[in-house]
Protein backbone atom coordinates (compact mmCIF):
# COMPACT_ATOMS: atom_id res chain seq x y z
CA UNK A 1 0.00 0.00 0.00
CA UNK A 2 1.22 3.52 -0.80
CA UNK A 3 2.12 5.76 2.14
CA UNK A 4 -0.02 8.86 2.75
CA UNK A 5 1.46 11.99 1.15
CA UNK A 6 2.36 14.76 3.59
CA UNK A 7 -0.35 17.44 3.65
CA UNK A 8 2.15 20.03 2.46
CA UNK A 9 2.39 18.16 -0.86
CA UNK A 10 -1.24 19.15 -1.51
CA UNK A 11 -0.98 22.82 -0.54
CA UNK A 12 1.08 25.12 -2.75
CA UNK A 13 3.91 27.19 -1.36
CA UNK A 14 3.77 30.71 -2.73
CA UNK A 15 6.68 31.78 -4.91
CA UNK A 16 7.78 35.11 -6.37
CA UNK A 17 8.96 35.36 -9.96
CA UNK A 18 12.43 36.87 -9.61
CA UNK A 19 13.42 36.82 -13.28
CA UNK A 20 11.94 35.95 -16.65
CA UNK A 21 14.26 34.92 -19.49
CA UNK A 22 12.82 34.53 -22.96
CA UNK A 23 14.27 31.38 -24.54
CA UNK A 24 12.18 31.00 -27.71
CA UNK A 25 9.13 32.73 -29.20
CA UNK A 26 6.81 30.55 -27.11
CA UNK A 27 9.11 29.54 -24.23
CA UNK A 28 10.46 31.32 -21.16
CA UNK A 29 12.50 30.38 -18.09
CA UNK A 30 11.09 31.61 -14.79
CA UNK A 31 13.42 31.93 -11.80
CA UNK A 32 11.33 31.53 -8.65
CA UNK A 33 12.04 32.37 -5.02
CA UNK A 34 9.90 30.14 -2.77
CA UNK A 35 8.43 31.74 0.36
CA UNK A 36 9.21 28.55 2.34
CA UNK A 37 12.18 26.36 1.37
CA UNK A 38 11.17 22.95 0.02
CA UNK A 39 13.33 19.87 -0.28
CA UNK A 40 16.03 20.54 -2.85
CA UNK A 41 14.76 18.97 -6.07
CA UNK A 42 16.84 16.32 -7.75
CA UNK A 43 17.39 16.59 -11.53
CA UNK A 44 14.41 15.17 -13.42
CA UNK A 45 11.82 15.89 -10.71
CA UNK A 46 8.89 18.24 -11.30
CA UNK A 47 6.66 20.72 -9.50
CA UNK A 48 2.96 21.44 -9.85
CA UNK A 49 2.94 25.17 -10.68
CA UNK A 50 -0.25 27.08 -9.92
CA UNK A 51 -1.24 30.19 -11.80
CA UNK A 52 -3.85 31.64 -9.40
CA UNK A 53 -7.28 31.81 -10.94
CA UNK A 54 -6.21 29.80 -14.00
CA UNK A 55 -4.92 26.34 -13.17
CA UNK A 56 -2.10 24.06 -12.08
CA UNK A 57 0.28 22.11 -14.34
CA UNK A 58 3.27 19.79 -14.02
CA UNK A 59 6.54 21.51 -14.93
CA UNK A 60 10.05 20.06 -14.55
CA UNK A 61 12.83 21.88 -12.75
CA UNK A 62 15.27 23.28 -15.29
CA UNK A 63 17.41 24.59 -12.44
CA UNK A 64 17.37 22.84 -9.06
CA UNK A 65 18.95 25.61 -6.98
CA UNK A 66 18.95 25.06 -3.23
CA UNK A 67 15.27 24.40 -2.47
CA UNK A 68 14.39 28.08 -2.10
CA UNK A 69 15.38 29.23 -5.60
CA UNK A 70 14.50 27.14 -8.65
CA UNK A 71 14.10 27.57 -12.42
CA UNK A 72 11.36 26.27 -14.71
CA UNK A 73 11.40 26.46 -18.51
CA UNK A 74 7.83 26.61 -19.80
CA UNK A 75 6.28 26.44 -23.27
CA UNK A 76 2.99 28.25 -23.92
CA UNK A 77 0.62 25.54 -25.15
CA UNK A 78 -2.65 26.36 -23.36
CA UNK A 79 -4.42 28.43 -20.72
CA UNK A 80 -2.22 27.67 -17.71
CA UNK A 81 1.12 27.70 -19.48
CA UNK A 82 0.02 30.98 -21.17
CA UNK A 83 -0.57 32.51 -17.73
CA UNK A 84 2.82 31.25 -16.50
CA UNK A 85 4.80 32.33 -19.56
CA UNK A 86 3.34 35.85 -19.48
CA UNK A 87 4.28 36.46 -15.82
CA UNK A 88 6.32 39.55 -15.06
CA UNK A 89 9.03 39.74 -12.39
CA UNK A 90 7.36 40.19 -9.00
CA UNK A 91 4.33 38.02 -9.89
CA UNK A 92 3.15 35.48 -7.28
CA UNK A 93 2.66 31.82 -8.20
CA UNK A 94 2.04 28.64 -6.25
CA UNK A 95 4.39 25.64 -6.31
CA UNK A 96 3.94 22.10 -4.95
CA UNK A 97 6.80 19.66 -5.02
CA UNK A 98 9.36 18.43 -5.68
CA UNK A 99 7.61 15.34 -7.00
CA UNK A 100 8.54 12.14 -8.76
CA UNK A 101 11.58 10.01 -9.40
CA UNK A 102 14.32 11.93 -11.22
CA UNK A 103 17.31 10.76 -13.25
CA UNK A 104 19.20 7.94 -11.51
CA UNK A 105 22.58 9.64 -11.16
CA UNK A 106 23.93 6.81 -8.97
CA UNK A 107 24.45 4.79 -12.15
CA UNK A 108 26.79 7.34 -13.72
CA UNK A 109 30.18 7.06 -11.97
CA UNK A 110 32.75 5.52 -14.31
CA UNK A 111 30.33 5.46 -17.25
CA UNK A 112 30.21 7.30 -20.58
CA UNK A 113 27.15 9.55 -20.21
CA UNK A 114 25.10 10.43 -23.27
CA UNK A 115 22.56 13.19 -22.62
CA UNK A 116 20.09 13.11 -25.52
CA UNK A 117 17.38 15.76 -25.85
CA UNK A 118 14.62 16.55 -28.30
CA UNK A 119 13.06 20.04 -28.27
CA UNK A 120 11.74 21.09 -24.87
CA UNK A 121 13.10 17.80 -23.49
CA UNK A 122 16.34 19.65 -22.84
CA UNK A 123 14.65 21.52 -19.95
CA UNK A 124 14.50 18.58 -17.47
CA UNK A 125 18.01 17.60 -18.57
CA UNK A 126 19.52 21.04 -17.91
CA UNK A 127 20.44 20.28 -14.25
CA UNK A 128 22.25 17.11 -15.39
CA UNK A 129 24.05 19.01 -18.14
CA UNK A 130 25.18 21.58 -15.57
CA UNK A 131 26.41 18.86 -13.19
CA UNK A 132 28.23 17.16 -16.07
CA UNK A 133 29.99 20.39 -17.07
CA UNK A 134 30.90 20.95 -13.41
CA UNK A 135 32.41 17.43 -13.33
CA UNK A 136 30.39 16.34 -10.27
CA UNK A 137 28.80 13.19 -11.73
CA UNK A 138 31.91 10.98 -11.69
CA UNK A 139 31.41 9.91 -15.31
CA UNK A 140 34.36 8.75 -17.40
CA UNK A 141 33.14 11.11 -20.18
CA UNK A 142 29.97 12.89 -21.18
CA UNK A 143 28.47 14.18 -24.40
CA UNK A 144 25.34 16.20 -25.21
CA UNK A 145 23.18 15.48 -28.26
CA UNK A 146 20.29 17.84 -29.01
CA UNK A 147 17.69 17.73 -31.76
CA UNK A 148 15.19 20.48 -32.60
CA UNK A 149 12.74 21.25 -35.39
CA UNK A 150 14.78 24.23 -36.60
CA UNK A 151 17.67 26.41 -35.37
CA UNK A 152 15.30 28.97 -33.86
CA UNK A 153 13.53 26.19 -31.90
CA UNK A 154 16.76 25.07 -30.20
CA UNK A 155 16.62 25.75 -26.47
CA UNK A 156 19.54 27.29 -24.53
CA UNK A 157 21.63 28.05 -27.67
CA UNK A 158 23.89 30.47 -25.75
CA UNK A 159 24.58 28.02 -22.92
CA UNK A 160 25.24 25.21 -25.41
CA UNK A 161 27.89 27.22 -27.25
CA UNK A 162 29.55 28.63 -24.11
CA UNK A 163 29.20 26.94 -20.70
CA UNK A 164 28.31 23.53 -22.15
CA UNK A 165 30.92 23.42 -24.92
CA UNK A 166 33.05 20.93 -22.93
CA UNK A 167 30.31 18.35 -23.57
CA UNK A 168 31.12 18.50 -27.31
CA UNK A 169 27.47 19.19 -28.20
CA UNK A 170 26.16 17.53 -31.34
CA UNK A 171 23.23 19.56 -32.63
CA UNK A 172 20.77 18.49 -35.30
CA UNK A 173 17.68 20.11 -36.79
CA UNK A 174 14.91 18.80 -39.01
CA UNK A 175 14.85 21.97 -41.11
CA UNK A 176 18.12 23.90 -41.51
CA UNK A 177 18.74 27.52 -42.47
CA UNK A 178 21.59 28.76 -44.72
CA UNK A 179 23.73 29.66 -41.69
CA UNK A 180 23.17 26.37 -39.78
CA UNK A 181 26.45 24.57 -39.07
CA UNK A 182 25.14 21.48 -37.25
CA UNK A 183 23.61 18.26 -38.56
CA UNK A 184 20.36 17.95 -40.47
CA UNK A 185 18.05 15.06 -39.61
CA UNK A 186 16.92 13.26 -36.46
CA UNK A 187 19.12 13.37 -33.37
CA UNK A 188 19.97 9.70 -33.97
CA UNK A 189 22.31 10.67 -36.84
CA UNK A 190 24.86 11.76 -34.23
CA UNK A 191 24.58 8.58 -32.14
CA UNK A 192 26.92 6.35 -34.11
CA UNK A 193 30.01 8.45 -33.43
CA UNK A 194 28.95 9.26 -29.85
CA UNK A 195 28.51 5.76 -28.42
CA UNK A 196 32.06 4.39 -28.35
CA UNK A 197 32.08 1.19 -26.27
CA UNK A 198 28.35 0.41 -25.77
CA UNK A 199 29.05 -1.57 -22.60
CA UNK A 200 30.16 1.64 -20.87
CA UNK A 201 27.25 3.85 -21.99
CA UNK A 202 24.49 5.25 -19.76
CA UNK A 203 22.01 7.26 -21.84
CA UNK A 204 19.49 9.70 -20.42
CA UNK A 205 16.91 10.74 -22.95
CA UNK A 206 14.08 13.29 -22.92
CA UNK A 207 11.84 14.52 -25.71
CA UNK A 208 8.61 13.61 -27.48
CA UNK A 209 7.67 9.95 -26.96
CA UNK A 210 8.30 9.08 -30.60
CA UNK A 211 11.81 10.56 -30.38
CA UNK A 212 12.60 8.60 -27.19
CA UNK A 213 11.35 5.42 -28.81
CA UNK A 214 13.54 5.92 -31.90
CA UNK A 215 16.60 6.85 -29.83
CA UNK A 216 16.16 3.84 -27.53
CA UNK A 217 15.79 1.52 -30.53
CA UNK A 218 18.96 2.93 -32.14
CA UNK A 219 20.93 2.63 -28.87
CA UNK A 220 19.84 -0.99 -28.45
CA UNK A 221 20.66 -1.75 -32.10
CA UNK A 222 24.16 -0.54 -31.21
CA UNK A 223 24.30 -2.88 -28.18
CA UNK A 224 23.50 -0.44 -25.38
CA UNK A 225 21.53 -2.40 -22.74
CA UNK A 226 17.85 -1.39 -22.23
CA UNK A 227 18.45 -0.88 -18.50
CA UNK A 228 21.24 1.62 -19.31
CA UNK A 229 18.72 3.92 -21.01
CA UNK A 230 16.63 6.30 -18.90
CA UNK A 231 13.65 8.22 -20.30
CA UNK A 232 11.16 10.70 -18.81
CA UNK A 233 7.44 10.13 -19.42
CA UNK A 234 5.32 13.26 -19.41
CA UNK A 235 1.80 11.93 -19.02
CA UNK A 236 -1.15 14.10 -17.97
CA UNK A 237 -0.61 14.72 -14.23
CA UNK A 238 -2.99 16.50 -11.92
CA UNK A 239 -2.41 15.64 -8.25
CA UNK A 240 1.30 14.72 -8.32
CA UNK A 241 0.85 12.27 -5.43
CA UNK A 242 -0.69 9.13 -6.98
CA UNK A 243 -4.26 9.95 -5.94
CA UNK A 244 -6.13 11.06 -9.06
CA UNK A 245 -5.02 8.29 -11.42
CA UNK A 246 -4.68 10.52 -14.51
CA UNK A 247 -1.06 9.50 -15.08
CA UNK A 248 -1.50 5.79 -14.36
CA UNK A 249 0.21 3.52 -16.87
CA UNK A 250 -0.37 -0.15 -16.14
CA UNK A 251 0.62 -0.68 -12.50
CA UNK A 252 2.62 2.56 -12.26
CA UNK A 253 1.61 6.08 -11.34
CA UNK A 254 4.08 8.08 -13.42
CA UNK A 255 3.89 11.04 -11.00
CA UNK A 256 5.52 9.02 -8.19
CA UNK A 257 7.01 5.94 -9.90
CA UNK A 258 8.32 8.21 -12.71
CA UNK A 259 8.53 10.45 -14.60
CA UNK A 260 11.98 8.91 -15.12
CA UNK A 261 11.94 5.19 -15.90
CA UNK A 262 14.49 2.81 -17.35
CA UNK A 263 13.69 1.84 -20.93
CA UNK A 264 13.05 -1.80 -19.95
CA UNK A 265 10.34 -0.49 -17.55
CA UNK A 266 8.96 2.17 -19.91
CA UNK A 267 8.70 0.35 -23.22
CA UNK A 268 5.85 -2.03 -22.30
CA UNK A 269 3.92 0.87 -20.74
CA UNK A 270 4.07 3.10 -23.80
CA UNK A 271 1.57 0.83 -25.51
CA UNK A 272 -1.03 2.02 -22.94
CA UNK A 273 -3.24 4.85 -24.23
CA UNK A 274 -3.14 8.10 -22.19
CA UNK A 275 -6.28 8.87 -20.09
Ligand X SMILES: Cc1cc2nc3c(=O)[nH]c(=O)nc-3n(C[C@H](O)[C@H](O)[C@H](O)COP(=O)(O)OP(=O)(O)OC[C@H]3O[C@@H](n4cnc5c(N)ncnc54)[C@H](O)[C@@H]3O)c2cc1C
Residues that bind ligand X (CB under 6 A): 46, 55, 57-60, 73-75, 77-81, 120, 123-124, 234-237, 259
Q: How far is the CB of 195 from ligand X (least distance, A)?
A: 27
The residue among 25 and 178 lying less far from ligand X, judged by its C-beta, is 25
- The C-alpha atoms of residue 195 and residue 143 are separated, in whole angstroms, by 9
Residue showing the smallest CB distance to ligand X in the complex:
78
Beta bridge partners of 232: 260
The residue among 58 and 215 lying less far from ligand X, judged by its C-beta, is 58
Q: Which CA distances in Å does 137 have to 13, 43, 241?
A: 30, 12, 29
The residue among 20 and 176 lying less far from ligand X, judged by its C-beta, is 20
The DSSP-derived string for 146-193 is EEESSGGG-TTHHHHHTTTGGG--EEEESS--TT--SEES-GGGGHHH
Residue 173 exposed, middle or buried by CB count within 10 Å (0-12, 13-18, 19+): buried
The residue among 184 and 272 lying less far from ligand X, judged by its C-beta, is 272
Q: How far is the CB of 232 from ligand X (least distance, A)?
A: 7
Q: How far is the CB of 176 from ligand X (least distance, A)?
A: 25
Compute the 3-state secondary structure of the chain and give helix, strand, coil in percent, each to the nearest 5.
25, 30, 40
The residue among 46 and 190 lying less far from ligand X, judged by its C-beta, is 46
**Hey, is 119 helix, strand or coil?**
helix
Q: How far is the CB of 159 from ligand X (least distance, A)?
A: 16
Sign of CA dihedral 85, 87, 88, 92: negative
Q: How far is CA 158 from the centre of its chain?
A: 18
CB 94 within 8 A of CB 47: no
The residue among 127 and 186 lying less far from ligand X, judged by its C-beta, is 127
The residue among 120 and 194 lying less far from ligand X, judged by its C-beta, is 120
Q: How far is the CB of 235 from ligand X (least distance, A)?
A: 6
Q: How far is the CB of 126 from ligand X (least distance, A)?
A: 9
**Greatest pairwise CA separation for the chain in angstroms:** 57
- The C-alpha atoms of residue 64 and residue 209 are separated, in whole angstroms, by 24
Q: How far is the CB of 63 from ligand X (least distance, A)?
A: 11
Amino acid sequence: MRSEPAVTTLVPTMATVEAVRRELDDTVTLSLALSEPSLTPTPGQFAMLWAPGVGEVAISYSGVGDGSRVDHTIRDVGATTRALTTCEPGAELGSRGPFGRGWDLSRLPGRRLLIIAGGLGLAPLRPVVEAATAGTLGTSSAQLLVGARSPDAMLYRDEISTHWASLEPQLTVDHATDTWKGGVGPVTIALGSAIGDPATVEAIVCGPEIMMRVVARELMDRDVAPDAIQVSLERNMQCGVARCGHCQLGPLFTCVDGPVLRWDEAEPLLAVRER
